[in-house]
Amino acid sequence: TDECLHLHRHTNNMRSLQPFLYLVIFWTVGAEASDPNLPFMEYLDQNRLVCLKWGFDSLQGDITFKLVVNTTGWVGFGLSPNGGMQGADIVMGGLGPSGSYFQDYHATGNSMPLVDEQQNYTLLSVIESEGQTIMTFKRAIQSCDEQDFHITAQAAKVIYAYGTTDDIKYHASRRGTKEVNLLNYVPKSTIIGPNYFMARVDNISVPQNHTYYHCKVMKLPTLIKKHHIYLVEPEIEHPDIVHHMLLYSCPSFVTEPYDNPCFIGDIGDACFQTVASWAVGGGVFALPENVGLPIGGEESDIFYRLEIHYNNPNGVKGRTDSSGLKLYYTDQLRQYDGATLTTGVLQFTNMEYIIPPKATNFHTYGVCNTSLLNPLPDLHVFAVMLHTHLAGRKVRVGHYRDGVQIDFLALDENYNFEYQEIITLGSTKTIKSGDEILVECTYSTSTRTKTTRMGLGTTDEMCLAFLLYYPAIKISSCISHPNTLHPSLSTSNHNFSFDTNGIIRDMKTTPTVICQNTNRSSRLCTTWIMSAAGILLFLIAIM
C-alpha cells in the first residue's frame, strides 16, 4: 500500500482539519513499517498534492526518492541552492504513450533546464495509478558532478513542478519549494488528538502601510492541570500579506486583553517569551516525541500576545484578516518542557545601527554569553528558525566553549526570505553553562541607494536565530543591542542582565569538501574541512 496515495484519496472528501491530521500521522507510521527503505515522508505543498518519500543506506551511499504527484503528466523534482531555478539540480520524467521517460537536468536561470552531460540519477520505476504519477529514482549522496547539487547534513531546499500532459513545458502555478533536512530528518509518528485552541485575530483591518504589526493580547482556555502543546499549525487567510506570526507568553503584570497595533506603548509590549512561531514559507511544526510546550496548571492565569507582521508592499486597502495559530495539546505529558531562546540582534526604537548602501557582503553579529545566568542546566537544542529580511543572504550560528568554536548550531549559506521554516536538527546539540552563541548575518544592499536600518519593516533588517530547546528555563532572549553596545539576557518576567564585556570571536569557515574524483570540479566533498577565518570588526557595531 502506498501511503501518499491513500492520503490523497482520503483528503479529497475532508472538510475539517482534525480527521485529516489523524490520517496524516497514521499513514506516516505505516510508511515506516511497510517500506523500511523509504522511512521518511513530507508533503511538499499545502494542498497535499505532491508527496515525497525518501531513504538512504549511509552518508556515503545512495539516496532513493519516491515522488507521488496528483497528475498523469510530467513531474519534476529538484534540489536548489536558494529555492529557485538558478543553480538547481533537477530530474523530470513520467509515463507517456511510448513508455517511461526520465532525465537529469540542471538549471541556469528561470528557463527550460539543460540536460546534464553526466546522468547521475537512475530511474527505478514510474507508474500511473488512479490519477497520480509515482516516480522512484536514486542517486549517490556524494556526487562529483559539478552540475549536481551536493547533499549534506544541512537542510536542503527541495523544489517541484508538474504538468497536466507529457509535453514538458512551462508549469505555471504548479510548482513550489519546501526546506527539508534530508539526512537529519526526524519522522513524525505522534497520533494527533482532538484537543486544540486557536490564537487568532478576528477580522482586523489591515492598513495600506507597507509594514503593519498587529498584536492581540488574550487568555487561552483555562486548563486546571498542566498540559503540553505538541503541534502548531498556521491558519493563514491571506498568504500574500501575512509575513510572520509569533505567540508570546506575558509576564504576570499583564492582566488585561486588548486588540491593537503593536508597539504603541501598550503594556503587552513586554510579552516576549516565545511560545510558537511561524514565518513565510513555513508549515505545520510537530515537536519531538519527548518534548512539549507547557500550558495550564500554575500558568493558567497568564496572558498571551499574538503578534502578526503584515507586509503590504502594494498598499492595498480595505482588507481584513483572521489569521493565527492552531495549537494541539494533550494531558499526556512528555518527558521535557520545551521553549524557545531568541538569539542574535534585537532592534529597539531609535536604534543607531545602519547597513550602508551598495554593500555586497555586510556582516552583523549578535552575541549570547550564557555565563550571564549561572547556574544554567544543559540546554538541548533540537530545532532552529533563522530570520532576516530582504537584504539577508546568509545566516550562520556558531557555538563556542571555553573561547573555541566547537560547532555550528545552524547554517544557511543561501538564505531566502520567502522560505523561513523551523528546521529540526535530527540530533540535539547541547549548550552548557558558559557557552557562547554567535549569530552572523550577511547582507547585500548592492541595489540600494539609501542606508538600511535595523527595524520592523520588511525593507529594514533583522538578524535572529530562534533556538528550540529543552528543558525550559525562565529566559526569553539572549541577544545583542547595538544601541547599548553590549549583549543582554532577558527573563520571562521582563528582567534584564547585561554584559559589557562581550567578545565577537572568530567564526570558522563553513564546512566544505574536496571532490576525490579528479575528473570533476572540486565543488563536492567526502570530508568536512574547517579553518578559522578572521572577522572584519569595523563592519559591526556590537560587542
CA 67 to chain centre: 22
Residue from 309, 363, 387, 389 carrying the catalytic annotation: 387
Among 196, 244, 202, CA closest to 220: 196
The set of residues, in sequence order, having a beta carbon less than 8 Å from that of 245 and lying 6+ positions away, is: 234, 277, 278, 279, 306, 307, 308, 309, 323, 324, 325
How many CA atoms within 13 Å lie on the side-chain side of 253? 8
Q: Which of 373, 296, 370, 397 is nearest to 337 (CA)?
A: 296
CA–CA gap between residue 141 and residue 131 (Å, rounded): 31
* Strand runs labelled E in 463-527: 463-470, 475-481, 486-491, 496-498, 507-508
Rg (CA), the chain: 23
> Using CA atoms, how far apart are residues 504 and 271, in angstroms rounded to an integer?
29
Per DSSP bridges, beta strands 339-345 and 475-481 are: parallel
Neighbours of 312 (CB within 10 A): 20
Q: What's the distance, CA 59 to chain centroid?
A: 23
> Among 189, 185, 174, 133, which Cα is nearest to 2's?
133
For residue 270, give the DSSP letter.
Answer: G
Residue 275's alpha-carbon distances to 246, 278, 293, 325, 348, in angstroms, are: 8, 11, 7, 11, 21
Q: Is the dihedral of CA 458, 262, 301, 325 positive or negative?
A: negative
Name the catalytic one among 43, 160, 213, 470: 213
Q: Examine residue 375 and say whether the peptide bond preceding it is cis (omega within 30 degrees of 0).
A: yes
Q: Where are the beta strands (DSSP E) in 415-473?
A: 423-431, 436-443, 452-453, 463-470
Q: Is 353 a catalytic residue?
A: no
Q: Which residues pair with 245 in a beta bridge?
A: 278, 308
Establish whether 8 is a catalytic residue: no
Which secondary-structure segment (H or E) carries 4?
helix 3-11
User: Residue 513 is placed in which grid cell?
Assistant: 569538501
Spatial CA neighbour of 229 closest among 468, 493, 476, 474: 468
Q: Which residues are catalytic?
A: 213, 387
